[in-house]
Structure 1
Amino acid sequence: MSIWKRCAIVLAFAVGPLALSLNTTPAEESAQQSELLNDSLKRQQVEFKNEISPFLNSYCVACHGPDDQSGERRFDVLTGDISDLNSLADYQDILDQLNLGTMPPSDETQPSTDELRKTIKWLTQAIATFHETHRPTPSETVLRRLNAREYKNTIRDLFNLKTLIFDPSHGFPKDRAVDHLDNIGESLVISGYQLERYLDAAEIIVNKAMFPVEQPEIQTWRFTDGFRQQKEIDQVHVKVTGFDHLRLYDVRGADKHEGGYAPIHAFAEGVPEDGVYEIRFLAEAVNRKHPYDPDFLGTDPDEPLRLGIVPGDHLVGHLHKPQPIEPLLAAIDLADKKEWYSVDVWLDAGYTPRFTFENGLMDARNLWSKLIRKYPDDFPKQKRPGIVEARFNAIKYGKLPQIRIHEVEIQGPIYKQWPKPSQQVVLGDDWTEVAATENLPPAQLHRHLHQFLSRAYRRPATDEEIARIVDVIDARSQPGRSNIEALSDGLKTVLCSPNFLYLDEGEEGELSAYALASRLSYFLWSSMPDEELFQLADSGEILKEEVIREQVERMLESPKSSEFLDGFLGSWLTLRDLGSSPPDRKDFSKFYHYDLDRAMRQETIFFAQHLLDENLSVLNFLDSDFTFVNKRLADHYDIDVEFENWYDFQQVALKDNRRGGLLGQASVLTVTANGIDTSPVVRGVWILENLLGTPPTPPPPDIEPLDPDVRGTTTIREQLQKHRDNPACNDCHRSIDPPGFALENFDAIGGWRNSYGKGKPIDASSELATGESFKDVRDFKTLLRKHPDTFLRGLTGKLLAYSMGREIHPTDRPTIDRIVQELDESGHGFRDLIVLVALSEPFRSR
């Protein structure tokens, strides 16, 4: 019998409130309720002994009994009494597997329809009885520490600081993830090293926010010659250009850069203060229409040459090489002639602007010799073989696409207002007077500290808490130090306080208004509440269901909701690991040449954002007839579509559903590969664990890992078949391998392939544990969408865990089932799902 016929006979059994007689006293009602419950439990025991235990012995104990405990489950010792969370997990697992049709295995003896119906009915009623008679187990962790993402965003919003370049969490230990979630309170422990980093960060943050006290004067720097770049190409440029202009050749993704960055070494120490700086430069695109084979160079003559500006810090490393922090501050398509351009960019103190060639050549160092070998008639005959002469000839005589920058002018810092926003956060309109008079009366100080501490602690600060900070400020008010410097020391103390570093959600029970406001803001913004949430917490209105609904809608409309997608998708889909296994540069050079890493990530974010904005069905995650691509990603997918701008993303209709949904997106396909090749096992585990929420049991410790060179095998399918010949491996691999095989047509960066190396054809067909078969990824996704309950429960559970910052407990299952049921009735909207999670009892409770 197929899974779907089995599911058709599953009844929606639910134990409702026990019927009680009218006109009874509370004591009588309690006695009647207790008597009815005892009668129900007695009937359960009789039914278990007569019907359920024989069922388990006939169909389950062979694999889950004294001789074999597949999946670390043993069912021969079950008594029919669901008394704790461990036994609840066993019975829930049996029910889920029966409903899914994955157990008993399709190649084993199957129960009759009547046997299956009775067993499912008993399990459903017994589990429901447990949930009605047991209170949910509260989380063990009362305080949840801010993770690095939340810390950075909270600092940004608390002080109104720019964090495009500045990362206050830089150097923090990596947050430990649980089920890929980086915000689970239990795992966010604190160490002595972490405390040291908090102290260092507080010093940097407060100094950046409070100083300089007086507005800096605008300065201007001009550079017209002496443009050295890097040792390797300077020896050519001195002869060819005399250093009278900068030249860019490589993209940032190149391996060994030569002309990938154009720094201004005379401005290596960077700007003196944080602020906006106007950068004017005279530049031109040269040789866009080149005489060479476009496929050889990897550039399109119809595409404008694109100049970028990124920050550089000479204290971190060489300015002509990549650095850990280099966001794209500006990007401009250049004309094929000299023109002046002007951009305003934010630069932190000590950072200098560096020019880049965003769509340039790939690995120019290797290209010099290749170009001469391919077009020998265009170049003088080399007297000495080697890179030095090849580089000279290619640069001097070649017509490679390049960007030239002839003059640069930098002016700033430019402030729209002074005092700057971070100073106004601390002293408001009093900043100018306090800075000028060096007078900060106690009442005035108390008022400002109350406002600041209440925002930092995300609840009203007490007089005692304020007094402790005042004591610090008084102790630091020494001769030769201004009152603002002393105040700064007090603020550093605030940033190291547990009241700031931890989310205090109180004791067991309903969250307080302030705790609920914080839970909402860290769920949807990964940051502190804004003024409206604080006001609703002050009045208590935030506790009302209709207000929660309104706030979720408002918060999702905010630009800060992008933090939700970044945090949740990074955890759920493990996008945070994208790039941790860099693809092989030889086989997948376009990953680096065309910045596919960023494009892949953006596709998934734009896709999820669209589902959120339009409240479209979350089943689109499984399969869809649209996606979002830029020109480079469209080329990667072989999608023929016109683009007005090569770099902007646009929604495209998919004529072939190979690419529909997450399983066709290169971000997922890359993060589930090892950078060199693909593995059905890795991808299969990822699908079960992340997409369906049904992680397989870890392999036994005595099982050898899959040997990639099994004697007598020629394909991964044959290797896995030999692996599955081991009974200890077969039980898990029969569930893992089929989803992985469905994705075998996608290579390590998500490109489509029909064969492996040496022309061996790819077979993407397989059979699910339910007995249903598919030919390729198209069929596989059709099966997933046709019966989506497992996906919906997995997604809901993951989102609920992320929203609360704690792991899901077995007692959360009724909440998840209710949300899934409401989703089924409303059309599975992504926004609807988020609202339902925020309205759920676990989300609103401690």
Structure 2
Amino acid sequence: MMKTLFASFVLAAVSTCSATAFAAEPPVVAVEQKQFALLQKHCTDCHVGADAEAGFRVDDLPLQITDLKTAARWQKVLNSLNSGEMPPEGEPAIDKAAKANFLEHLANAMVDARSLLADQKGVITMRRLNRREYRNSLRELLGVEINVNDLPADTSASAFDTVGSNLYMSSTQFEQYLRLGREALNEAFDRQAALGVEKKVHFEAEEITPKVAKFIEYQVDARERAENWIKEVDAAVARPENAAVIEEIKAGPLGTHRDILYRNWKKIAGAPAPESFGFQTGENNADKALAASRPFHLPYHRYYMEQPAIETGAYLAASSEHPAVLDNATFNLLVPFNWPVGNYVVRFRIAATEHATPDRRFIEFGINPRTQQAISVHEVTGTMEEPQIIELPLTMTRANAERANRSLFLREKGTRDNWEQALRVAGMGRAENDGIGQKFALWVDWMEIERVPDADQPKPPGIAAIAQLPLDDKSAAPQAADLHAAFEQFAKEAFRGDLPSPQYVDQLVQVYQSYRDLGEKPSDALKETLAVVLASPMFLYHSEPSEAAEPRQLTDRELANRLSYFLWGSPADRELQSLADAGKLQDPKILDEQVTRLLDDPRSQDFVDAFAYQWLGLDRLDFFQVNLQHHPRFDNSTRQAACREIYETVGRLVAQNESLTDLLSSDYVVINAVLANYYGIEGVHGDHFRQVSLPPDSPRGGLLGMAAVHLMGSNGDTSNPVERGAWVLRKLLHDPPPPAPANVPQLARLAGKPLTTQQRLIAHQEEPQCASCHRKIDPIGFGLENFDAVGIWRTEDSYQALDDNGKPIKDGKVTWQIDPAGAFHNGPSFANYLELREKIAAQEDAFARGMTEALIQYALGRPIGFSDEPLIDDIVKQAREQKYAARSFVHALVQSKEFHSK
């Protein structure tokens, strides 16, 4: 049932090829004669001979699709039938089932034809470093991390970020590379200047308690004044002589808000408004008076002052209970503005109170609470009797050197993803606590940040290369010979071992001197010159030159860099370079040892994350926001943990060299406390991801049990069986459906009808051009319907029909029990999700083949083609013999002649 990328060539071909002949002759893509008979039956009256209607002939249409001209003619047939243009009105209609079969066959044939005609036959396009590789290369060279998101995106819907055809270069990018190079050098120079600097700041949380008490005084005083003033306003509004002024105010954008009345008070009453309502300044007193008049602020702050541990710490509150005045919804620590860049450690002492339910035992940490985005989330296991100390690393960079950005914060998880959510959380808290306000779940004792000692830190290779030059502006200017030697060594490091020409180095010295002649400081002239090196082709491009028409074998140095960028996304380290320079890297045994070493290194996480993200199509996770009103538990921290689950699971398989088929079905999950709480799995505590065993009937385990996978198959609010079914076919069964045709009827046309999801899709399939794909996609998608839009297990679903204005229609809601039973198109049936997962897990070879094709594209930086079939077969065969061990795919690919060729 499950075809591979080229299996349909055999199914569609007039003549077939044997497995042994596959490598000798290209396959034949053709339309079957029995399918072509449908065109002959319905089209030959108008589309034959020299005078064929619209100039399109069917009688001379080749069945074999061997060139672009023939492919274009068949694409026109496919488009005309999909759009309903053919047959025209008045002509006999095509039987729906026959038309659906024809469209499925032709669509698959066109997909295969495009793959065959686009075969690069192993040719690798010259390519530059992608954003990820560029960032990592700067890190290895200079020891800094910079933000490269302003560079153009490297990925596309059909290619990895390593594929050369995506990695173009423009003059604008050259300017960006110069700017980013200068930024990286500024960061690196600042780090060197700060070596040995020690800094630490400590803050006790109870310092906010007097502010709460003072604010209560303000509120009591302000409330009395505000109430008196409001009475004066109401009386003034009622006076007939003020009617015209009041009408003028009402016509304004904010209507009759008392704040507007306050600002217009002189116009209304003929006298200035009160200057103070008891607050420290006169600024925005009207707004503060109104806030103070709200019934829940004063009781909430009095409730805070009644808590038992306010003299030794602070409780975290709901974020919208006291806007703009007091902020103990986030616990802030201001880092002094003049602190140097470098690595720091943040510590805080914290406890969960008796009111901390399982959902409320997590704390978010971040920089600058105005951004609302947390960096990390941590489980709080400490108690009020025995608080815990949480310690985490933080890199302070030039990018967050602004004072506002140097405010570190702690806040309760899920309370401030957006303002609407903050209001909802605060409102729920008042409803659960007699209208007073949310009960306090977390208590903070203190918080501190300390710079990590770095006096003995080794210099990064790029900085070591220029060690003989002064990096400040106080020392004597360097001599030309020193500049020449330093620039040569820096360029060699930047060019990944390739020595620059003497002429190139001479030009760098001239560039430096030109900047000095223009009055630049020595350090600035040095950075501007080195930035030129970092924007040069030898740094930005993978250096694998080839002048011959035929592929050649890589040199040892080229092999070292190809291997390193494959598994680390960064240049070869000293050990790889030494083996390459000694001519030993081509030795299969040594190469295998190096693959193992690179995969054991923490830097291989770059490979795991980047490959998994692109192979599994995780970019869809960035398409939409979750409707937190309907799915309040899936906050941003949970979302981040759910996405991380995929990477951590793949990373575990690679690290432990276990079977890749565990991604189809497994009796364990790789989760942390956040996800354990979300999934309802007990006994898991701590922030680190670890393997957790599951009971036999658990829906978790494997990709299909992960919340992030189901989020991709939704719109952030409701599930989408079509997206889910298509993803399973593409990524797990290696049986991708063809692209959706244009002009197909949209499900939106049914928005005003109270139908179940299944009824909507059945209506959608009334057209053959829809049924040809959906009959294969939908059964799988419906088999996954027990998971809601954010991966929570459910047994029923509902739908609310809407009118043209998006308003709910009366009696337009329908609720139904989910029925996941179904059958694969022309394949076996399944009674529920667990049986569906079992059927999918049985397709190990198809899954392995799809992953192998993706791995080849990622590693070699080019699309796969027919010429890669022997390589694919060989890798899958070797992996199968090792029970699909994750590393076996990598070892087999690295040992192949294709990996060693340019």
What is aligned with 2:665? 623
What is aligned with 1:153? 136
Query: Helix, strand or coil: the match of 2:408?
Result: strand
1:668-702 Cα offsets, whole Å, 9 max, x none, are: 11122110111111112222223334332223222
Q: Is the 8 A contact 1:524 1:561 kept in 2?
A: yes
Query: Helix, strand or coil: the match of 2:692?
Result: strand
Matches within 5 A, 1:188-267: 188-211=167-190, 214-215=193-194, 217-219=197-199, 221=201, 225=207, 247-249=315-317, 259-264=328-333, 267=335
What is aligned with 1:460? 498
Distance apart, 1:517 and its partner CA: 2.0
What is aligned with 1:34? none
Query: Helix, strand or coil: the match of 1:756?
Result: strand
Query: Helix, strand or coil: the match of 1:505?
Result: coil
More moved, 573-582 vs 436-445 = 436-445
Higher relative contact order (CA 8 A, sep 6+): 2
Q: Is the 8 A contact 2:345 2:394 kept in 1?
A: yes
Rate the CA distance shift 1:338–1:548 in 2: closer, same or farther, 3 A.
Answer: closer
Distance apart, 1:582 and its partner CA: 1.8
What is aligned with 1:491? 530
What is aligned with 2:847? 791
Query: Helix, strand or coil: the match of 1:499?
Result: helix
Once residues 727 and 388 of structure 2 are traced to their aligned partners in structure 1, the CA distance between those partners, rounded to angstroms, is 50
Q: Of 406, 418, 421, which residue of structure 2 is paired with 1:352?
A: 406
What is aligned with 2:235? none
Q: Which runs of 5+ in 1 are unaligned?
A: 19-36, 91-104, 112-122, 313-318, 377-389
Q: Of 765, 778, 792, which residue of structure 1 is paired with 2:834?
A: 778
Q: Which runs of 5+ in 2 are unaligned?
A: 48-57, 75-94, 102-108, 216-286, 799-813
The answer to whether 1:839 aligns with 2:895 is yes
Distance apart, 1:182 and its partner CA: 2.6
What is aligned with 2:32? 56
The answer to whether 1:415 aligns with 2:454 is yes
Rate the CA distance shift 1:337–1:434 in 2: closer, same or farther, 3 A.
Answer: same
Rate the CA distance shift 1:149–1:435 in 2: closer, same or farther, 3 A.
Answer: same
- TM-score normalised by L of structure 1: 0.74
Rate the CA distance shift 1:171–1:599 in 2: closer, same or farther, 3 A.
Answer: same
1:450-509 Cα offsets, whole Å, 9 max, x none, are: 332223222412223333322222322348655444322221111111221222332351
More moved, 445-454 vs 568-577 = 445-454
Once residues 37 and 624 of structure 2 are traced to their aligned partners in structure 1, the CA distance between those partners, rounded to angstroms, is 41
The one-letter amino acid of 2:397's match is D
Once residues 341 and 710 of structure 1 are traced to their aligned partners in structure 2, the CA distance between those partners, rounded to angstroms, is 52
Q: Is the 8 A contact 2:127 2:164 kept in 1?
A: yes
**Higher alpha-carbon Rg:** 2
The answer to whether 1:328 aligns with 2:364 is no
What is aligned with 1:285? 351
Query: Helix, strand or coil: the match of 1:651?
Result: strand
1:618-661 Cα offsets, whole Å, 9 max, x none, are: 2222222222123342343344x423537653332341253232
Q: Of 485, 505, 511, which residue of structure 2 is paired with 1:472?
A: 511
What is aligned with 1:380? none
Rate the CA distance shift 1:211–1:78 in 2: closer, same or farther, 3 A.
Answer: same
Distance apart, 1:373 and its partner CA: 3.7
Rate the CA distance shift 1:703–1:577 in 2: closer, same or farther, 3 A.
Answer: closer
What is aligned with 1:581? 624
Distance apart, 1:204 and its partner CA: 1.0
What is aligned with 1:529? 572
Rate the CA distance shift 1:656–1:416 in 2: closer, same or farther, 3 A.
Answer: farther
Once residues 399 and 678 of structure 1 are traced to their aligned partners in structure 2, the CA distance between those partners, rounded to angstroms, is 34
Rate the CA distance shift 1:374–1:340 in 2: closer, same or farther, 3 A.
Answer: closer
Q: Of 613, 617, 641, which residue of structure 2 is paired with 1:599?
A: 641
Once residues 854 and 423 of structure 2 are traced to their aligned partners in structure 1, the CA distance between those partners, rounded to angstroms, is 46
Query: Helix, strand or coil: the match of 2:585?
Result: helix
Identity of aligned residues (%): 25
The one-letter amino acid of 2:351's match is A
What is aligned with 1:516? 559
Matches within 5 A, 1:17-166: 56-58=32-34, 62=38, 77-78=61-62, 137=120, 142-161=125-144, 163=145
Q: Is the 8 A contact 1:513 1:543 kept in 2?
A: yes
Rate the CA distance shift 1:86–1:588 in 2: closer, same or farther, 3 A.
Answer: farther
What is aligned with 1:275? 342
Once residues 776 and 472 of structure 1 are traced to their aligned partners in structure 2, the CA distance between those partners, rounded to angstroms, is 70
Rate the CA distance shift 1:705–1:810 in 2: closer, same or farther, 3 A.
Answer: farther
The answer to whether 1:505 aligns with 2:481 is no
Once residues 743 and 629 of structure 2 are traced to their aligned partners in structure 1, the CA distance between those partners, rounded to angstroms, is 36
Rate the CA distance shift 1:411–1:840 in 2: closer, same or farther, 3 A.
Answer: closer
The alignment yields a C-alpha RMSD, in angstroms, of 4.7
Distance apart, 1:725 and its partner CA: 1.8
Once residues 366 and 710 of structure 1 are traced to their aligned partners in structure 2, the CA distance between those partners, rounded to angstroms, is 28
What is aligned with 1:570? 613
1:531-572 Cα offsets, whole Å, 9 max, x none, are: 122223323333343333222111101101111111011101
The answer to whether 1:402 aligns with 2:455 is no
The one-letter amino acid of 1:610's match is R
Rate the CA distance shift 1:77–1:243 in 2: closer, same or farther, 3 A.
Answer: farther
Query: Helix, strand or coil: the match of 2:628?
Result: coil
Once residues 491 and 753 of structure 2 are traced to their aligned partners in structure 1, the CA distance between those partners, rounded to angstroms, is 69
Once residues 344 and 489 of structure 2 are traced to their aligned partners in structure 1, the CA distance between those partners, rounded to angstroms, is 32
Distance apart, 1:368 and its partner CA: 4.1
The answer to whether 1:738 aligns with 2:782 is no
What is aligned with 2:692? 651
What is aligned with 1:169? 148
Once residues 721 and 329 of structure 1 are traced to their aligned partners in structure 2, the CA distance between those partners, rounded to angstroms, is 43
Rate the CA distance shift 1:143–1:723 in 2: closer, same or farther, 3 A.
Answer: same
What is aligned with 2:741? 700
The one-letter amino acid of 1:186's match is S
Distance apart, 1:589 and its partner CA: 1.0
Rate the CA distance shift 1:665–1:811 in 2: closer, same or farther, 3 A.
Answer: same
Once residues 187 and 527 of structure 1 are traced to their aligned partners in structure 2, the CA distance between those partners, rounded to angstroms, is 19
Rate the CA distance shift 1:198–1:243 in 2: closer, same or farther, 3 A.
Answer: farther
What is aligned with 2:53? none
The one-letter amino acid of 1:842's match is E
Q: Is the 8 A contact 2:488 2:505 kept in 1?
A: yes
Rate the CA distance shift 1:712–1:357 in 2: closer, same or farther, 3 A.
Answer: closer
Q: Of 817, 827, 840, which residue of structure 1 is paired with 2:883?
A: 827
Rate the CA distance shift 1:138–1:170 in 2: closer, same or farther, 3 A.
Answer: same
Distance apart, 1:835 and its partner CA: 1.2
1:677-730 Cα offsets, whole Å, 9 max, x none, are: 111111122222233343322232222223362787722222222222211222
Q: Is the 8 A contact 2:673 2:687 kept in 1?
A: yes
Once residues 651 and 106 of structure 1 are traced to their aligned partners in structure 2, the CA distance between those partners, rounded to angstroms, is 50
- TM-score normalised by L of structure 2: 0.70
The one-letter amino acid of 2:865's match is H
Rate the CA distance shift 1:86–1:514 in 2: closer, same or farther, 3 A.
Answer: farther
Distance apart, 1:798 and its partner CA: 0.9
The one-letter amino acid of 1:811's match is S
The one-letter amino acid of 1:587's match is H
Q: Is the 8 A contact 1:263 1:320 kept in 2?
A: no
Rate the CA distance shift 1:761–1:332 in 2: closer, same or farther, 3 A.
Answer: closer
The answer to whether 1:612 aligns with 2:654 is yes
Once residues 75 and 817 of structure 1 are traced to their aligned partners in structure 2, the CA distance between those partners, rounded to angstroms, is 39
